Every structure is written in structure tokens, then in C-alpha cells.
Amino acid sequence: MTLEYHSAIYEINPHKKIATRITFDGYNYTLLPTQVKLEDLANLLSKMQKVCFHEEAAERICKTLKKKKDRTIIVAISLGYLNGTTDYMDFVDGGSATVQIAKYDFIEFQQPWINEVCRSKMNDSIPLGKPVNIVIEMIEIYIKSYLMKESNVDGLYLYVEKSPEHGNPDFLIKYYEKIGFKKMDYEDDKWYYMYKEIIKTSSKRGNNESILSSIVTSKKSKKNSSALSNNDSLINNDAIISNNDSLINNDTALSNNDAIISNNDSLINNDTTISNNDTALSNNDTTLSNNDSLLKNDGKTKIKKTLKKNKKNIKKTLKSIKFSNYK
């Protein structure tokens, strides 16, 4: 039986009293809530600290998360679950840590400090992972991705209590040295101070299970690939737009051609109409000419008839005259 670990950073907002999940490539996180109240996050950390520190600390942790001076900026958690688990509080193994931004006299600028590192094994009878290593890894990624861009942050700091009620400081120092921390020259009566340098461009891990530089490079490569893909899409879009413009121009040209053809058709129709009109006029002229001919013929007929009639009248008149002279 193996556990499935779900891991994320929770960014603290003391004003709204909520914590918001931040995730990274390569880490499963689906069982963890996207957003959680600070009281609920304090209860989760308190459940873990009952195992590692043997104390009920929900109220103290909640007050720490809400502090505005030397405030807690993030909580990192990695929790192991049995198959079929649906409630994020039902973990059987886990690691956690908080990170504060603080300035001490022996450092020049304010820096991120890891605090309350906790490993809570609920069940030792099953194979367990390394959740504290995962927690430190995610914190380093967060510092590179969020804190080192526009600040004087140069690494990750922590302190180890010299005379803790629970735990062995020598064991802790050796453990932190294995994952890249170095003991600082400065110390006081209560604390040892340790520091791990974080380089923006490359970071080779010690005995940790993954290489941060490959994770960061992978993320950058994905972003660059996405950017190139977007540029290609833009180029393709420009080509499509250009083609569309060409099609629009072609449509316009075709439309103009159609208009020209239509006008030509109209002109042809006009020519036909004119031709028909000319034919009609010619026909009319012929008809008029025929009518004139008819009129002329009618006139001649009437004249002939009149002449005949006049001849008859003349003959009658001559006969009358002759008859009158005879008498």
C-alpha cells in the first residue's frame, strides 16, 4: 500500500483572513482546497503539530497567521492520503512549514525565514514518502517565482532552537545541511541560524528527490512554447485575415464585374429596344407611306369620279344648249 501525496503553497491574506492555494508543475494537489479560512488552516497545522511538537496550537497558529508585523506570507504543506480519501483533513502522513518575511540585525535586508517545520507520521506501518523535502522544494520554487523578481531576497533562512523541549538540534542541523543549508557564523544564546543560497538561473539540489532547475526550466519552456504557439497563431490569423481580405476584394471585383455585366446587359437590352423602336418607326414610316399611297389612290379615284360626273354634267349642259338653240 502506497500513499498519494498532495502538496501546495497557501498564500496568506491577513486582511481577508483567508489562504489561497498556489500550485506547481510536478506536484499533485487536487485533494487540497483552492481557498481556506485561516482558522481552518490553523486547525490543520495544529493537528500535525500534535504529533511533531506534542501540543495543541490552533489558537497560537491562528494568531501568528493574522499578524501584520513580521507576517507569515505562506504555509507549505504536503499530505499523504490512502486511496479513496476525499477529505483533505484525513491524511496519514504530512510535512508542513510556515515562511515569514523578517529583518534581523545581522542581515542587510529582510529575508524569508522558514519556521515551524513539522513532520507528522500518523501511521508507520505503511511505506511513507518525504513530505518535508517536498515542502522545502516548493518553498524554494515560490521564492524563485515570486520573491526574487523585485526584491533583495537572496536565499532561504531558518533557525534551530538550541535547547528544544522536543527534538535534537544536532539531528536537525545535519538534516538541513543534507538539503543544502549551511550554518551561519552568527548565533545567539537561544538559536542557531542557517542559510541556503538560491540562485535564479540554476540550482542543483543535494539529496532531494527532484531537481528544481529542471522544474523551473520546464515551466519556462512551456511558457516559451506557449508564446511561440501564440505567435504562430497570430501569424496564421494574419494570413487568414489577409486571405479573407483577398476574398473580400475578389468578391468586390466579382460584384463589380456582375455590375458591369448587368450594365452591359442593360445596354444590350437598350440596343435591342432601340433597334425595335427603329424597326417600329420604320414600320410606321412604311405604314404612313402606304397610307399616303392609299390616300393618293383614293384621291385619284375621287377625281376620276368627279371628272366623270363633270363630264356627264357638261354633256347634259351641252345637250340643253343645243336643244335650246334648235328651238
Do 196 and 327 lie in one domain? The reply is no
Q: Return the percentage of the chain with pLDDT > 90, whole number.
A: 52
Give the chain's mean pLDDT: 75
Q: Determine the pLDDT at residue 166.
A: 79
Do 248 and 183 lie in one domain? The reply is no
15-31 pLDDT, tens digit each: 999 999 999 999 999 99
With beta carbons less than 8 A apart as the criterion, state whether 142 and 27 touch: no
**Is there a domain that residue 228 lies in?**
yes
Strand order in the sheet with 182-187: 35-37, 18-22, 4-13, 72-81, 93-102, 111-121, 155-161, 191-197, 182-187
Pairing of strands 4-13, 18-22: antiparallel
Q: Determine the pLDDT at residue 311.
A: 65
Residue partners of 231: CB distance under 8 A and separation at least 6:
none
Do 324 and 285 lie in one domain? The reply is yes
Q: Determine the pLDDT at residue 273.
A: 40
225-268 pLDDT, tens digit each: 444 344 444 334 444 334 444 433 444 443 444 443 344 444 33
104-130 pLDDT, tens digit each: 999 999 999 999 999 999 988 888 999
Q: How far apart are CA 101 and CA 20, in angstroms?
A: 18
Between vectors from CA 96 to CA 90 and to CA 102, what angle results, nearest 5°? 145
64-102 pLDDT, tens digit each: 999 988 899 999 999 999 999 999 999 999 999 999 999
Q: Determine the pLDDT at residue 70.
A: 84
**Is there a domain that residue 292 lies in?**
yes
- 289 has pLDDT over 90: no
Do 181 and 86 lie in one domain? The reply is yes
**Is there a domain that residue 216 lies in?**
no
Do 29 and 171 lie in one domain? The reply is yes
- 310 has pLDDT over 50: yes
Q: How far apart are CA 136 and CA 230, in angstroms?
A: 34
Query: At residue 77, what are phi and psi to the nearest 5 degrees?
Result: -135, 150
- 206 has pLDDT over 50: no
Statement: the pTM of the whole predicted model exceeds 0.75: no
Domain ends where: 188, 210, 232?
210
Q: Determine the pLDDT at residue 176.
A: 95
User: Between 311 and 41, where is the model more confident?
Assistant: 41
**Is there a domain that residue 196 lies in?**
yes
Do 232 and 200 lie in one domain? The reply is no
149-203 pLDDT, tens digit each: 878 999 999 999 999 887 889 999 999 999 999 999 999 999 999 999 998 754 3
User: Between 313 and 31, where is the model more confident?
Assistant: 31
Q: Determine the pLDDT at residue 298.
A: 54
Angle between helices 131-142 and 212-326 (to 10 degrees): 50
**Is there a domain that residue 215 lies in?**
no
- 286 has pLDDT over 70: no
- CATH code, domain with 81: 3.40.630.30
E strand or H helix at 187: strand 182-187
Q: Which domain holds residue 35?
A: 4-210
Please state the domain count of the chain. Answer: 2
